[in-house]
Structure 1
Amino acid sequence: MSEVAPALRVQDLCLSFAGVKTLQSVSFDVPTGALASLIGPNGAGKTSLVNCLTGYYRPDSGRIEALGRNLTGLRPDRVARAGIVRTYQNVGLFGGLSVADNLLAGRHLRMRSGLLAGGLSLPWCTREELAEREVVEDLLALLEIGHLRTVPAGRLPYGLQKRVELGRALAMEPALLLLDEPMAGMNLGEKRDMVRLIRGARDRGVTVLLIEHDMSVVMGVSDVVAVLDFGHLIAYGPPDQVSHDPAVVAAYLGVDDAEPVR
């Protein structure tokens, strides 16, 4: 594993807004093929970091390398084309479109036909769409929602909407998948299902960086964990090591001599 270049390398990343330092010299790696987690108290800088990784924010300084490329300061569309895909804290599905069409929207990045060709229903364009719908059917089966393919996404319960959102991200064929609180607002059963699906994505060769507040989930699924607090990286390593780190315990509980974070 050590001989393989990391899927993601963050080096001395700094970000500020109007003089307020949001990220301060943050550095860590995500090993290729790993399921890594990024954690920290509210306001620690987690989402700001993901926004830098995906091109929504331009860092003040530092370097972002992913999948063998320097992605520092690239536009979001170029980051996505490089194989880095994200989901968001809030559900952002097309509520009036079917579940299948929401996943098909994720395939747009991989399709060659344009608006004009699609509007004219040219033969090669039709063949491409049929091929892409086969990919969507495979994803529906993977996510165990094939029976919902024709249901408008906006009519689904919240937990299933989050599953569709994961499917749309997977439809883009990411090499590195950034999941921003994919289990927020879920009940225990929905969380278990989502954990299983995320592990399934990792098993299919996708490197995953998970932002999550549920420590039982983080400590149970992660290969490595990075911890932010007030824009600083205060810990990085295997879950057991991080959960016993005094700086992590203090950041979460506000005390220096407490039980490990679980």
Structure 2
Amino acid sequence: MASRYRIRRHRRGKRLKKQKESWLQRWGSWIGKGILSLATVGSLIFLGFNAYLYFQQSGQLNVGEVRIMGCMNIAESELLDLAKVDFRSNLIHLDLHEVSRRLARHPNVRRDFSGKALIIEVQERVPRALILLDELYLMDSKGEIFKKADLKEKMDFPVLTGLNLAEWKRKEPWAMELLQEAVELLEEMEGRKIFTPREVSEIHLSKKRGLTLYTLKEGVPIRLGWGGYGEKLNRLEKVLPDLRNKLMKVEYLALNYSKKVVVKMKESEKENAPKS
């Protein structure tokens, strides 16, 4: 019995010894990996900091050139004056938010770095129409009014009428809707061969009647109403060739009826106008 007890005790001691050695090996492995990881991270931080100091003090990343791209109507010198980028400054220290703030008067400015050149790409607003409020303003393709019109510049655009400055400043929902309707109409007219925006002198915006065009030469009102401008213009273009020489005798055209064009002749005229 004593012999068996000694054997069991001896075996138990060997198991405990092995377990202890196994735990020590695991802890040693974990500690070793931790030290290695810390050393790696420390080395990377050290190298990164030294690289930052090098580029900060060297002239490798100094602004050597500023290029302005995408300008069509804005002078490059104007944007350079607004940006106020110091050619001696380092790209690391360049405050892009501050540059963007200075250029914020323009719609969009995208920045990109190429070597030692700071490239500023400008997306300009493209005028699509004039709008008469208290004065003439330019409106872009999104229906946004962005600046007063300069009468010295060539502006071959229709004039939007019917709104006043107070309504626009208050962003009256119906006024904003009418501006979007005008944008939709102008987009629909772009690319047409028979009736284009150049043949329109005025687009009147009415809260009750919607849109009414006025032809450039004869000043004939063309009542469009609301929406469906593509189909309405298609109807107009079917009868317009026959009416070209008679427009001076027409009081108005109405396209705000379903599937037809109503031609109202002036009272003094007895001629019949085509309907479709």
TM-score (norm 1): 0.23
- Which protein shows a greater Rg? 2
TM-score (norm 2): 0.22
Choose between structure 1 and 2 for higher RCO, CA contacts under 8 A separated by at least 6 residues: 1
